[in-house]
């Protein structure tokens, strides 16, 4: 292997191995659980580093060049050795571990995710800990790459394309107002709800960037004179609604947690709103870490779409 190729990653070599076996970008992408453009990028990088096309297209098939056939056997031997080393990596035992997992969360994420997660970790291992890191979505990808945090949980519209991710669930919105609100009977009807004083939660770069479309839809439906105040926190908006005649629109699962303690009634939003995808993100370099894999599986078990979660109650329109 030339000096130019000395920094080849095992990940790229695994892609090459699959390509040599499948001889198809589409089938390789399916086997590796990725996209055809991603495989094409890796192949372009390999071609540059080896100074050879490696595979050439003929009809629907791709055929290896003599150079590719020359490296095919030593490549598989290298990957087999790497797999042996990977299997020798110590496994993660939560019952004996004293690991602290660092999660990047918005204020809403802290309310939704931390109570069930801390209960689960206490059951799995008495010395396991969680450190919640305040979310700045402008820099969360670099924090994942550096290992400053293990996982980011939430809705991130600016996620770097190279990050690993797994969708957890789809989130909707509900309106909230204090249970003894003087116009409560009219709030459940959208025209009446739009006429109420509104507390607008603003999208920001520190946790609620994905809320921007929803904020715009609410502001387009509510007359300017009916906007009571604007603020950057769903939790603060709910507290203000509980202690005033204002109404707020907040994520449904947040309402499920805080509506009862704050004495809030819930109802359908004053305008139909799009839902948002809640996802867990992590960096490729930690993808195979046993403890990291365990944490991701726990988060998916607790919050994934396969688990049926209660919905915040809404009165019909």
Nearest alpha carbon to residue 317 among 274, 272, 260: 272
Return d(Cα 8, Cα 280) in angstroms, integer.
28
Whether residue 300 is predicted with pLDDT greater than 90 in this model: the reply is yes
Shared-domain flag, residues 300 and 238: yes
Return d(Cα 157, Cα 147) in angstroms, integer.
21
Shared-domain flag, residues 219 and 288: yes
Does residue 221 contact residue 251 with C-beta atoms inside 8 Å?
no
| Number of independent structural domains in the chain | 2
H-assigned helices in 23-148: 25-32, 36-50, 66-87, 107-124, 140-146
Q: Choose one of 87, 112, 130: the last residue of a domain.
A: 87
Which phi-psi region, left, alpha or beta, contains residue 63 (left: φ > 0; alpha: ψ -120 to 50)? beta
- Beta strand segments in the chain, E: 55-58, 61-64, 100-105, 129-134, 151-154, 164-171, 173-178, 198-201, 227-231, 247-251, 264-267, 276-282
Shared-domain flag, residues 62 and 142: no
| Averaged pLDDT, 42-53 | 91
Q: In what order do the strands lie in the sheet with 173-178?
A: 227-231, 198-201, 247-251, 173-178, 264-267
Mean pLDDT of the chain: 85
The CATH number for 60's domain is: 1.10.10.10
Residue pointed to by tokens 């797994």: 166
Shared-domain flag, residues 193 and 117: yes
The CATH number for 284's domain is: 3.40.190.290
Least confident of 3-12, 105-114, 142-151, 235-244: 3-12
Per-residue tokens: 242 = 């509980």
Q: Choose one of 45, 60, 87: the last residue of a domain.
A: 87
pLDDT tens digits, one per residue of 56-65: 988 778 899 9
Shared-domain flag, residues 81 and 221: no
């Amino acid at each position: 292997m030339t000096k130019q190729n000395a920094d080849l990653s095992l990940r790229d070599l695994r892609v090459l191995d699959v390509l040599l076996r499948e001889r198809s970008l589409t089938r390789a992408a399916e086997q590796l659980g990725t996209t055809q453009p991603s495989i094409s990028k890796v192949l372009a990088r390999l071609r540059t580093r080896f100074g050879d096309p490696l595979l050439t297209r003929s009809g629907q098939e791709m055929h290896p060049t003599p150079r590719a056939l020359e490296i095919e056997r030593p490549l598989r031997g290298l990957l087999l050795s790497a797999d042996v080393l990977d299997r020798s990596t110590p496994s993660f035992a939560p019952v004996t571990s004293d690991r602290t997992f660092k999660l990047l969360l918005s204020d809403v994420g802290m309310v939704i995710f931390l109570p069930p997660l801390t209960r689960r970790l206490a059951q799995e291992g008495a010395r396991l800990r969680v450190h919640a890191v305040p979310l700045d979505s402008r820099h969360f990808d670099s924090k994942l790459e550096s290992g400053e945090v293990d996982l980011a949980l939430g809705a991130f519209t600016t996620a770097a394309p190279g990050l690993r991710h797994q969708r957890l669930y789809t989130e909707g919105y509900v309106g909230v107002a204090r249970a003894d609100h003087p116009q409560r009977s009219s709030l459940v009807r959208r025209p009446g709800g739009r006429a109420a004083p509104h507390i607008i939660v603003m999208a920001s770069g520190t946790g609620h960037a994905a809320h921007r479309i929803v904020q715009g839809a609410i502001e387009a439906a509510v007359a300017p004179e009916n906007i009571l105040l604007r603020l950057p926190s769903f939790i603060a908006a709910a507290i203000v609604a509980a202690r005033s005649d204002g109404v707020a629109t907040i994520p449904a699962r947040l309402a499920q947690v805080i509506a009862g303690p704050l004495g809030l009634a819930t109802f359908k939003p004053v305008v139909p709103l799009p839902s948002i995808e809640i996802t867990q993100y992590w960096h490729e370099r930690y993808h195979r870490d046993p403890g990291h894999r365990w944490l991701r599986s726990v988060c998916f078990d607790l919050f994934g779409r396969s688990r049926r979660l209660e919905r915040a109650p809404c009165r019909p329109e």
